[in-house]
Structure 1
């Protein structure tokens, strides 16, 4: 029954830490991330990553992105696709060059340096989504641009990583055309199913004489999208986000939204927030403090500047651009997956793995207060870009 004890600790301490964070003027998610570090191996050692944590956190991040999809204004998303693309491209280019430069600075070989550049190019907006929701900015023009850029970023980084693995990795050669074809198939099928199938399934099966048929079918659609995304080489959170958008176009949107949030935020999402902190360990990094500090600064600044520059070039005001750039800073679980892949394919030296994980955690911890600061700055701006 150890997992019950874990659940008790996580649910209690995330709520207390979140409350303290808000009282100190920070987003609640920051406190939840920090409590994961405190409860985990890095400090108290009360919690460790295990199968329970893994599966519950996986469900948590999927539900978080599913809710983001449900709350997304599709018209706003379509209007800002050019900005989203520019933010994603520049938000990949600058971190890639920055990571490459840091690798060269510390005497790493070209292939190791390139991999660090690819790693820093990744973005995870699961934490950003929570801050945007808390501050009622998820449906803003800036929020829609961040979400759209995250989708583009994921596709481009996966393709870049696949190209790198095919040339430098130890695995089998990867067909680039097949990889891109799979991405196109995913989006095509996701759109068609969302347009033609999802509304009919919800309408017909909502009449089943069982408890909560609408919610059950919504979760089937969500996890079905996730599984399909995974089969075609997409990150699962993109599938969950696409499922949320598909359901948001149906009359059942508000019912599902009101019922999915208590399920997600009561159990699964807190486990996800804590699980990020559990990856932190300070053992064996004493000689790499300089590497960690420099790479963390490069990771934060290049993503912030790259995203902001992409937004500014497509018509956003200065404050709005910085808000968008800060929303792209967190690397989260996407970068952790890439780091694990690099270690497996001998593209990341084992002695640097823990340091890389710490850098990823740093970007994830910095993102919420940074985003909140720029949201407040944008809100006070006398001339908002509408």
Structure 2
């Protein structure tokens, strides 16, 4: 069997085993499902057992999974949070992180390579954190809103930086192209906000439980349309995916709560039941662990970069912590704010393709990102404690 044939059998099996393992482990310690997906991918990949390897077809599906991850992140954005105290501090903290990341990048990668390093170190994996927050019942708590704001800025900021600073066009031209994309997206947002959507909502309701499934089809149209537009304009496709999630959220804002929840359930089934786990599993499969093991210097750098992530991204994230947060909550905010992987994978791929950074440095950054996703949410959510026994402040306004 070739890699494609093996992957078609193995990946669905691993996707089933990951939540089973997470549930079994839950009796002792709460481990995010994505941790098992990454580890299982590494185990069956070329670096350990060698049962499967890279495949062009599975890689394409993995790209769809990454796009779906950012789409869901876009649907979860609460603009009220971004406008308040938490949002302002999250934005300020990201600029601090980016400046620190670029400064460190200049020490190891000259020129635009420093930008690649800076973007990687200043990212936050909102898409990966959302299911963790959702499963823990934290999305609507002050802590969850703070992490969501950090994640939104920590994904959207790097995407803008990639589009302007690392695009094929010169920065000035890239800014104009990005402006065109923003105008087109703003037009879609205006339509979603101003044009009555009653007919759309009625059609969505009428086809929720039929073979028509209009809601899912329109989601895919918006997603592929804005992703396609970003590709045509030579912007990062994840910018289009993120914007598509925002547009869809606005389109459904006035829909009946039952219908909205039903649609979200269907979209999340496609995302977290199929495409997103495929992305994390394939990331594990394609991770070049052998290259790190072959060079002790590179391997030693991985835990060091994990610490750098915590300092560069985690410490500035404390600015967005809830005003009355205790030490454990602040530590959890810092840890989750420093959790990165999807943006790191995307920007290091661009850096290697454009010969801005070496493949070894890319492996170190991706390895650190994987460790951050393996360790930081686990420790951070453990610090938060049991959500059932924890008493949350009810009715606290977003500052």
1:213 corresponds to:
214
1:188-203 correspondence to structure 2 within 5 Å:
188-196=186-194, 199-200=197-198, 202-203=200-201
**In 2, Cα distance between the equivalents of 1:148 and 1:201?**
32
337, 362, 365: which one aligns with 2:346: 337
Q: Is the 8 A contact 2:305 2:368 kept in 1?
A: yes
Structure 1 residue 137 displacement after superposition:
1.3
**In 1, Cα distance between the equivalents of 2:31 and 2:251?**
28
Against the structure 1 CA distance between its residues 346 and 101, is the aligned structure 2 distance closer, same or farther, given a 3 Å change threshold?
Answer: same
Scaled by the length of structure 2, the TM-score of the pair is: 0.79
Q: Confirm whether residue 268 of structure 1 aligns to residue 267 of structure 2.
A: no
Structure 1 residue 120 displacement after superposition:
0.9
Q: Is the 8 A contact 1:68 1:244 kept in 2?
A: no
Against the structure 1 CA distance between its residues 82 and 136, is the aligned structure 2 distance closer, same or farther, given a 3 Å change threshold?
Answer: same
**In 2, Cα distance between the equivalents of 1:133 and 1:383?**
15
1:149-298 correspondence to structure 2 within 5 Å:
149-161=150-162, 164-165=165-166, 172-175=169-172, 177-179=175-177, 181-182=179-180, 184-185=182-183, 187-196=185-194, 199-200=197-198, 202-203=200-201, 205-206=203-204, 207=206, 211-228=212-229, 230-231=231-232, 233=235, 235=238, 236-249=240-253, 250-251=255-256, 252-285=259-292, 286=295, 287-298=297-308
Scaled by the length of structure 1, the TM-score of the pair is: 0.81
2:21 corresponds to:
17
1:22-171 correspondence to structure 2 within 5 Å:
22-29=26-33, 30-67=35-72, 70=75, 72=76, 74=78, 76-77=80-81, 81-94=84-97, 96-98=99-101, 100-101=103-104, 104=107, 109=110, 112-161=113-162, 164-165=165-166
2:371 corresponds to:
362
Give CA deviations for 1:281-336 in whole Å, capped at 9, x if unaligned: 22233232332221121013322211112436xx3524444433333222222111
Against the structure 1 CA distance between its residues 240 and 165, is the aligned structure 2 distance closer, same or farther, given a 3 Å change threshold?
Answer: closer
**In 1, Cα distance between the equivalents of 2:371 and 2:40?**
14
Alignment length (residue pairs):
376
Listed as ranges, the gaps of 5+ residues in structure 2 are none
Q: Secondary structure of the residue that 1:23 maps to in structure 2? A: coil
Q: Confirm whether residue 303 of structure 1 aligns to residue 313 of structure 2.
A: yes
Listed as ranges, the gaps of 5+ residues in structure 1 are none
Runs of 4+ in 1 over 6 A off after TM superposition: 377-383
Q: Is the 8 A contact 1:35 1:274 kept in 2?
A: yes
Aligned Cα root-mean-square deviation (Å): 3.4
